Chain A
Amino acid sequence: MTKLGQWMSTLLALMLIWLCLVQDLLNLGYSQKVHDVLVPLPVYLLVTAGSYSLATLGLRLASFNDCEEAAQELFLQIQEAQADLASKGLKL
């Protein structure tokens, strides 16, 4: 199954479960308070997922490694390379 397929089928399954519970198709007969939580649950989950994503992204951006030393090392090696190549006869 494609990734899209996996997402669709998972979302569909979750939607069906949610609908079953909200419409009380299984006749579980729960209280109004439980019902009040169930109805907006998908929106709550969406908001939570969105916040979590933003937080993860922010964290990853903040901890992104900045390779100063690598750039400096490269710069020095470029000079070394140019000198060595020139001595070997390279003409640019």
Chain B
Amino acid sequence: MASHSDISGSAGSQRRGVKNPAAQATGTDKYSVLLPTYNERENLPLIVWLLVKSFEESGNNYEIIVIDDGSPDGTQEVAQQLEKIYGPDKILLRPRAKKLGLGTAYIHGMQHATGNFIIIMDADLSHHPKFIPEFIRKQKEGNFDIVSGTRYKGNGGVYGWDLKRKIIRAANFLTQILLRPGVSDLTGSFRLYRKEVLQKLMEKCVSKGYVFQMEMIVRARQLNFTIGEVPISFVDRVYGESKLGGNEIVSFLKGLLTLFATT
């Protein structure tokens, strides 16, 4: 099937997407990383440390927005310490009172973001910030609206799955057949968006949970936004517990079929 995603570097097709001419000039781009957290007391300092390291090494301008949903384990207290260590211009704490869901966390985070690009990722160390400079480079290379990390192409991959990987691989295969999304990793959540593109997509997306990560890409294709891909390695849960269960599979299938029937 024809692939619309760009993995080798050839330019994306012309599209009537949204442009941000001011940001094209080097040095004026700022990257806002949105980190929704829930009970990530141990992981948060580590992910922040890795982010700071990656951005300082690459020289890109950044900020990290921590959106904690009232974690009972003291995540916010740790976040406050990090704010003191790295400065409130780099670590922005924008917590919420209770667990309100990923989509609204992104909307909330974006309202406080001063960057012209938004990076979304998991805070549990499964996504490694070392890939962010590659996302940035890829974005500039093809002037993409979105750059998506893929675990299934190039030297992308996963560490730590056994039975799960078989299920996830089959699920990905199913999404490719049913939705023909033009990207190889539809359920991935390590992505770089132009801010205005993400805002537009958030308006249109209705799904909940991580099905909405799938919906974002599907809607993006509908709106003719260009999407580039970067292979990433995904290291499953170093600390903390995994969240894949029968419930997740059922809700994934429901979400997939809904997207199949409505987009």
Binding site for B on A (CB under 8 A): 2-4, 53, 56-57, 60-61, 64-68, 70-71, 74-75, 77-78, 81-82, 84-85, 88-92
User: How distant is the Cα of A36 from the Cα of B42 in the complex, in angstroms?
Assistant: 67
Residues of chain B within 8 A (CB-CB) of A71 are 159-160, 235
Do B85 and A2 touch (CB < 8 A)?
no
How many residues of B are counted as interface, with CB atoms below 8 angstroms from the partner's CB atoms? Answer: 39
A-B contact number at CB 8 A: 87
Do B125 and A2 touch (CB < 8 A)?
no
CB of A78 to closest CB in B, whole Å = 6
CB of B209 to closest CB in A, whole Å = 20
CB of A31 to closest CB in B, whole Å = 36
Given contacts A65-B151, A70-B157, A70-B235, 16 further A-B contacts (CB under 8 A): A2-B260, A2-B262, A3-B259, A4-B261, A56-B173, A60-B152, A61-B166, A65-B158, A66-B159, A67-B233, A71-B235, A74-B125, A77-B50, A78-B46, A85-B49, A90-B81
Chain A interface helix/strand/loop/mixed: helix
B172 nearest CB neighbor, chain A only: A60
User: How distant is the Cα of A44 from the Cα of B176 in the complex, in angstroms?
Assistant: 23
**B177 beta carbon closer than 8 Å to chain A:** yes
| Residue picked from A82, A88, A89, most chain B C-beta under 10 Å | A88
**B179 beta carbon closer than 8 Å to chain A:** yes
* Given A56-B173, A67-B234, A77-B50: A91 in contact with B155 (beta carbons within 8 A): no
Do B50 and A92 touch (CB < 8 A)?
no
